[in-house]
Chain A
Amino acid sequence: MSLVRTLGKNPRCDLYLDLAQMISGILLVGFLWTHMLFVAVILLGPATYDSFARFLDDYYLSYIGIPFIGLVALVHVITVCRRIPSRYQELWEHAKLVRHTDTWTWLFQLVTALGIVILVMIHVWSVLTGWPIEAVKSTERMTSFWWFYIALLLLGEYHAGFGLYRIFVKWGWIKRKTIGWVTKTITIIIVGLGLAALWAFLQLGGAV
């Protein structure tokens, strides 16, 4: 390492960045899963959905939660960006040259990350401009843009599932096989829940 880089750098900088990436990642996964559970409340009927949304609203949970998660997402994006090599040509060459599954899942994780950033911005913008959350509005959004939400669900869950898997692998708290199995199962459940919620919305859309 060069002198300037050595002098200008906090020796614990890389550790802090790594921890920030991990903690923000875990928080985001947690958020994603709760979010899907919340959305799945529609399965209990539009009235329950509405009163649940109002409950979150009345107790300011939405107003604390949304900016907080926005901030966490920002931290995650910033800390993750350092992992993206500037010479992505070499990345591509390496992946093609050396055949290895986990390397490809990671590459695909980069791609899904880009997709998620774009789709999430559209999603958040459309929800906030149509505030408050109500079953009627959600139904409208879902019926016209169901393909958008399927894409977001799959991209998000892929990224979250493998991201979580990788965190556990890196820190070695649980065996690699076990954690792979656990994250896959949870991901399938959450995706199933998301699809069920979507189906409920579409059903409502037909009924309205």
Chain B
Amino acid sequence: MANRQLTFNIFRYNPTNPKDKPHMQTYQLQETEGMTIFVALNMIREEQDPSLMFDFVCRAAICGSCGMLINGKPRLACRTLTKDLPPEITLLPLPVFKLIGDLSVDTGTWFRHISLKTEAWIHTDKEFDPRAQEERMDNKTAYDIYEAERCIECGCCIAGCLTANLRPEFLGAAGLNRVARFMVDPRDKRSAKDYFEVIGSDEGTFGCYGLMACEDNCPMELPLQQQLAFVRRKMAWAGLKR
């Protein structure tokens, strides 16, 4: 399939330039062996248009900065091979997040806000003793925490989520997954009631419509349906008990 002539329709807009208007720009590129969208974008920038804006750091699905809409689906550019796509490829920035320019969006501010809102750190009153041996944790718990921690904050689950698009305050799958991570952690002393105050509403767990765009789009294949359902059950129980 290599050696195809690829056509890229790329969203162009620089919000800092008052004269600029959002538009689509077309580029032609010869496909090469093992080409990813990351490689293609770099070639376009180097050979055709140095003004093209997009984000990358790791190019190995670790940093989560290269999320974009690839033919309408939220994907990591560094992980998407052109050979899996038709010869005409449309690239748009991820919705929901603040647009920096062209394909580049600011996911950092959004995720920082979520971390602060859900207080995504261990809440404990135990004094830390650096010389004491670390407390043990059973394997299953450790695994569950690790599973949730695999999130790379790429924002694909947020961009594909209808609720997150319509409701700016919605925590989204990544946010609720974060909460689930602390719920299973025995070191965190927060009660279900404490969590309910933060996420027991339509801005949190009950705002989810259950469309599973999050799970279908997560490049790390996190078990988001299970995480969302776990949080929902726990919060429903906490809300009903009192």
Contact = CB atoms under 8 A, between A and B. Distances in A.
Given A1-B203, A12-B200, A170-B208, A94 B95 contact: yes
Interface in B188-242: 196-197, 200-203, 206-213, 215-217, 225-226, 228-230, 232-233, 235-236, 239-240
B236 A106 contact: no
A84 B45 CA distance: 42
Interface residues of A, number: 31
Contacts, number: 95
B69 A172 contact: no
Contacts of A90: 165-166
Does more than half of chain B's interface fall in helix, strand or loop, or is it mixed? helix
Given A106-B209, A169-B210, A100 B228 contact: no
B77 interface: no
B72 interface: yes
Contacts of A173: 229
Interface residues of B, number: 41
Interface in A35-87: 83, 85, 87
A103 B169 contact: no
Given A90-B166, A91-B162, A98 B72 contact: yes
A15 B240 contact: yes
A19 B200 CA distance: 13
Given A12-B239, A83-B209, A103 B162 contact: yes
Contacts of B203: 1
28 contacts: A1-B203, A12-B200, A14-B200, A14-B207, A15-B201, A15-B236, A15-B239, A18-B236, A19-B236, A94-B166, A97-B92, A98-B73, A98-B159, A99-B72, A99-B73, A100-B211, A102-B212, A102-B213, A102-B216, A106-B209, A166-B209, A169-B225, A170-B228, A170-B229, A171-B232, A171-B233, A172-B232, A172-B233
Interface of A: 1, 11-15, 17-19, 83, 85, 87, 90-91, 94-95, 97-100, 102-103, 106, 166-167, 169-173, 176
